Amino acid sequence: MNSKSNSILKDLYTTMKRIRVFEERVAELFVRGETAGTMLHLSIGEELGPACVTKAMQDGDTFTTHHRGHGIFLARGGNPDKMMAEIAGKKDGYCKGKGGSMHIADMNLGHLGANAIVGGGIPTVVGAALSYKYLNNNNVSIAFFGDGAMQQGILYESMNMASLWNLPVVFCCINNQYGMGTKIDDAVGIKDFSARAKSFGLDTLHINHLDAEKAFLDVKDLIERTRNDGPSFIEVECYRFFGHARKDKSPYRSEEEEVENRKFDPINFAKEKILADKILNANDILSLDKKISDEMDVSMKFAMESPVNEESEIFTDVYDENYSIESVDNKIRNILKINEYK
């Protein structure tokens, strides 16, 4: 093994490959007519950002995702069986199939929710980070969103609040070059997203390469600074290999553009580096890839065999049966008392 490399690159490759194959199985599930709904947004080509950022997170850190969030949740420890079942709208899914592809959540893993509204999940992490500051713990909350959200006012309101209160928030933009069918060149006057974040006083990191190992180390340093020094911003440039959603054949871009940009594949780059640094040999990688493929085949089978909910299930999980104005009021009073003595 090369002395400059270690299992980090192997782990990152494994995570990125799991994301890629999971998304391929989601696409297959759609073709088979087994998904709930038709708006499935795949993150193929975007794997580097989710793999690196989630690996730099610690226990207790939280995050939100956007409508292209399967890979982020999987990288953070999401169970592919339950994820696939949720996408299929089945009973064994994370949200009993009620959330579907764009609304998966799991508080136990720190997933505060996916959101189909562009930029909709961003302010949630500001609230989470505010609670961390009140409680004096060492956690961060991370908002993942696409380049389309860089044109949303809610992002800048959130950046301003995070900066004003010096909160442990990371704003992470996965810039895949397209907001639905609009290329980033036609959507913004200035493409320097870091400059926007800096104007609010945020620490920034711009990743525009395919070296997952370097990206992880840079992200890790930034997130550790965020825990102590306040909010930050990460932009991860990548290329969305396919259309906006599964049914979108991307007629707004040429085949030549797609072929050329698919050469910038973070998984292939990581594989070549693993071989060059002799971390694994070709047979080792084939074996690892097969293991991942088999894992996702099992997940797809699990989803297809999972039962559908009974009709009465529509009336459950509608509201918190333990909720009352008095209980909420008492919680707020307790928080205020804690602050009085700090």
For the stretch 111-128, pLDDT in tens is 999 988 899 999 999 999
d(CA 233, CA 13): 24
Average pLDDT over residues 39-45: 89
Q: What confidence score (pLDDT) does residue 83 get?
A: 96
Beginning with the edge strand found earlier in the chain, give each strand of the sheet holding 203-207 in spatial order. Answer: 111-114, 62-65, 141-146, 169-175, 232-237, 203-207
pLDDT at 335 over 80: no
Provide Rg for the chain, Cα atoms.
21
The residue among 317 and 199 whose pLDDT is bigger is: 199
Q: What percent of the chain has pLDDT over 70?
A: 92
Report which secondary-structure segment, H or E, holds 72: helix 70-75
Placement of tokens 């949630």 in the chain: 124
Residue 1 confidence (pLDDT): 39
- The predicted pLDDT at position 188 comes to 87
User: Would you state the pLDDT for residue 340?
Assistant: 53
Place of tokens 């708006």: 39
pLDDT, one tens digit per residue, over 91-105 is 999 999 998 888 889
Phi/psi for 54 (5° steps) reads -65, -30
Mapped onto helix, strand or coil, the DSSP state of residue 53 is: helix
d(CA 154, CA 296): 36
Cβ atoms within 10 Å, residue 137: 11
Tell me which residue of 70, 152, 143, 69 sits closest to 118, measured CA to CA: 152
Query: Residue 316 to residues 85, 91, 98, 312, 330: CA-CA distances in angstroms?
Result: 19, 13, 11, 8, 26
The per-residue pLDDT for 324 is 66
User: Residue 253 sits in which domain range?
Assistant: 7-340
Say if CB 69 and CB 80 are below 8 A apart.
Answer: no
53 part of a folded domain: yes
Q: What CATH number does residue 190 fall under?
A: 3.40.50.970
pLDDT at 319: 78
Amino acid sitting at position 318: V
- Per-residue pLDDT at 303: 96
**What is the count of structural domains for the chain?**
1
276-283 average pLDDT score: 95
How high is the pLDDT of residue 342? 45
Q: How confident is the model at residue 5 (pLDDT cuts 50, 70, 90)?
A: very low
Position with higher pLDDT, 2 vs 216:
216
> Is 2 within the bounds of a domain?
no
Q: Which residues on neighbouring strands pair with residue 178, listed in sequence order?
A: 183
**Residue that has been written with the tokens 């080792």 in this structure:** 284
SS3 state of residue 105: coil
pLDDT of 6 over the 50 cut = yes
Q: Please tell me the predicted confidence (pLDDT) of residue 313.
A: 86
Mean pLDDT of 11-21: 98
* 74 in any annotated domain: yes
Structure tokens at 296: 């996702």
**Which of 241, 291, 235 is CA-nearest to residue 46?**
241
User: Is residue 302 one of the residues assigned to a domain?
Assistant: yes
Alpha-carbon span 209 to 197, nearest angstrom? 20
CA distance 245 to 261: 18
Whether 221 is covered by a domain: the verdict is yes
Residue 49 has pLDDT above 80, yes or no: yes
The secondary element (H helix, E strand) that includes residue 169 is strand 169-175
Q: Look at residues 245, 239, 291 and name the one whose alpha carbon lies nearest to residue 35.
A: 245
% pLDDT > 90, the chain: 73
Question: Residues 44, 239: contact at Cβ < 8 Å?
Answer: no
pLDDT at 300: 97
What is the pTM for the complete model shown? 0.90
311: pLDDT strictly greater than 90: no
pLDDT, tens digit (0-9, with 9 covering 90-100), for 186-220: 888 888 999 999 999 999 999 999 999 999 999 99
The answer as to whether 1 is a domain residue is no
Residue among 27, 47, 145, 149 nearest 87 (CA): 27
> Contact 8/211 with Cβ under 8 angstroms?
no
Q: Is 236 within the bounds of a domain?
A: yes
Instruction: State the average pLDDT over residues 66-82.
Output: 95
Calculate mean pLDDT across residues 161-176.
Answer: 97
| Residue 95 forms part of a structural domain | yes
Separation of alpha carbons 163 and 193, rounded Å: 16
